[in-house]
Amino acid sequence: MPDTPIAPANPLPKRGTPEWKARRRKLKHEWRHLNLEHSKMTQRSYEYKRKYGITIDDYDQLFVAQNGVCAICGSSPKPGGKRFHVDHDHATKELRGILCYRCNANLGWWEPNSVQILKYLEGK
């Protein structure tokens, strides 16, 4: 018997190689698929912190303070529907409230055009 160790039949690829990166991508994808809810919550938590400087608890508290409805139109989220959006002032980064998709999209269009729209509505 030789004293040299026997290498496994399928050795793991060396770290940093294209094979290692492909294996790592595959394992991450499989893990995310098996832990979908955890993955979504982690991503949501990261995005809220990065974009708005708030936690999921902060979002939930703000939404409860609005009685669980859109701050503009008062609609409630539909069961299984999309989560409401965090509205913030793009210049000051100050949070204003939680909005449904429609109000958030319309507000995003309205804000830069508000002067012209008001002039039009006033007939000037």
Range list of β-strands (E), the chain: 85-88, 95-99
Structure pTM?
0.65
| Position 79 confidence tier, pLDDT thresholds 50, 70, 90 | confident
Give the model's pLDDT for residue 113.
82
- As to burial, measured by CB atoms within 10 angstroms (0-12 exposed, 13-18 middle, 19+ buried), residue 66 is middle
Q: Are 99 and 107 in contact (CB under 8 A)?
A: yes
Percentage of residues in the chain having pLDDT higher than 70: 93
Amino acid residing at 19: E
pLDDT tens-digit profile of 18-40? 999 999 999 999 998 898 888 88
